[in-house]
Amino acid sequence: MKTSNYYSVTLLHWYDRHHRELPWRITPVAAKAGFFANPYHVWLSEVMLQQTTVQAVKPYFAKFLSLWPKVEDLAAAPSGDVMAAWAGLGYYARARNLKKCAEAVANEHGGIFPDTEAGLKALPGIGDYTAAAVAAIAFNRQAAVMDGNVERVISRLFTIDAPLPGSKPQMKAKVAELTPSDRPGDFAQAMMDLGATICTPKRPACALCPFNSHCLALAKDDPERFPVKAPKKTKPVRVGAAFVAVTPDGEILLRRRIETGLLGGMTEVPTTAWTARIDGGTTPDHAPFPGDWQACGQIVHVFTHFELRLAVYRLSHEKIDTEGGDWWEPVTNLEAQALPTVMKKAIVQAIPLAFSKL
DNA sequence: CAAACGTGGCT
DNA sequence: TAGCCAAGTTT
């Protein structure tokens, strides 16, 4: 395989001077000296970074390493603890697969991550991108790493007019062609850093780009036009109701959602069935038990593929026996629960001080 | 293969 | 502000 090329040499030179320093990385100097990043750290960060910003990931990454310093610790953790720690980061299937993957590595691979793309991709929650990224970054394998940043850089450099996602194979071939055998991990991270800091979706800083003399989009087109994407569909609106029952002792009624689908395995207050492609009712008829439910406004939450409007109701009520895995939780302990953001919003709508430290 | 799957920040 | 976007994977 070709060792290097104009693009890899140029980009790695830029990366040596302009790389971002991130908690899960080692420096280019250390990498060139033969050190390797911790595969557990690289894997954990890559999963968290799927469709998620660096800024959002940083505190979660620190929290996870603090709670579970090694992959065996994560494998041994109760899944409820993992879901609670992930709460707020979104795409909760990632957390469920994270746990499964940790168990597989700990129990079937002796606590050692596979060091090949194929071996990594066989694990839960690791797809094309993550397998290549971990192989390249943690094991210095010559893997072609392509994420949204790389798609943007490549599509602009070579003015790829075909729309995504159909053009992925073509772009992946380009990335494979450019990825050097020397420092493939740094090359991958450099492509992503370039996309994140210079070759940005809007108003790219072409004047600062190491490729500005070779970029076809800059030379003869509009860089912002790339990558070309299929048009988006409009978001439907769904409605439903959420019910916040509070006891005189300050406990509220919670339950756990089923393991699959939207917010799978996460905790919620009782709601109408708004998930199942149908609108749930918005009236207190659908409450978990009868009572003088007080309307306390509406919350709006935007998911990836629909907008949800939930009517929120509150009821002060003596604690009653629960059924089917529901339970009463002290309001003072809500922070420790696996509550997704939409549920925190609903609770705050009913109990404005629920999450304040008073 | 198209659709499902969260959230917060930025323009 | 309404929409776009972020280190994608699974079904």
Per-residue pLDDT of chain A (358 residues; tens, 9 = 90+): 668 999 999 999 999 999 999 999 999 999 999 999 999 999 999 999 999 999 999 999 999 999 999 999 999 999 999 999 999 999 999 999 999 999 999 999 999 999 999 999 999 999 999 999 999 999 999 999 999 999 999 999 999 999 999 999 999 999 999 999 999 999 999 999 999 999 999 999 999 999 999 999 999 989 999 999 988 888 999 999 999 999 999 999 999 999 999 999 999 999 998 775 667 788 998 898 899 999 999 999 999 999 999 999 999 999 888 878 899 999 999 999 999 999 999 999 999 999 886 5
Residue ranges of chain A assigned to CATH 3.90.79.10: 237-350
A20: which nucleotide lies closest, measuring CA to C1'? C7
State the pLDDT at residue A109.
Answer: 97
Residue ranges of chain A assigned to CATH 1.10.340.30: 6-225
Give yes or no for CB of A89 within 7 Å of strand B. yes
CA of A94 to C1' of C7 (A): 14
> What whole-number distance in Å separates Cα of residue A139 and Cα of residue A187?
13
| Catalytic option among A21, A46, A103, A151 | A46
| Residue A335 annotated as catalytic | no
CB atoms within 10 A of CB A82: 21
* C-alpha distances in Å from residue A131, one per residue of A27, A44, A122, A234: 21, 12, 9, 32
C-beta separation of A302 from A246 below 8 A: no
State the pLDDT at residue A231.
Answer: 84
Residue nearest to nucleotide B3 (CA to C1'): A305
The superfamily in CATH containing domain A6-225 is: Hypothetical protein; domain 2 (1.10.340.30)
A262: which nucleotide lies closest, measuring CA to C1'? B5
CA of A293 to C1' of B5 (A): 32
C-beta separation of A282 from A299 below 8 A: no
Q: Looking at strand B, which nucleotides approach a protein CB closer than 7 A?
A: 2-9, 11
Does CATH place domain A237-350 in 3.30.70.141?
A: no
State the pLDDT at residue A1.
Answer: 62
CA of A26 to C1' of B10 (A): 29
Q: Of A332, A333, A336, A350, which Cα lies nearest the Cα of A269?
A: A350
State the pLDDT at residue A276.
Answer: 56
Q: What is the largest CA-CA distance in chain A?
A: 74
> What whole-number distance in Å separates Cα of residue A335 and Cα of residue A357?
10
**Side-chain half-sphere CA neighbours of A327 within 13 A:** 10
> What whole-number distance in Å separates Cα of residue A330 and Cα of residue A3?
61
Residue A87 C-alpha from the chain's centroid: 11
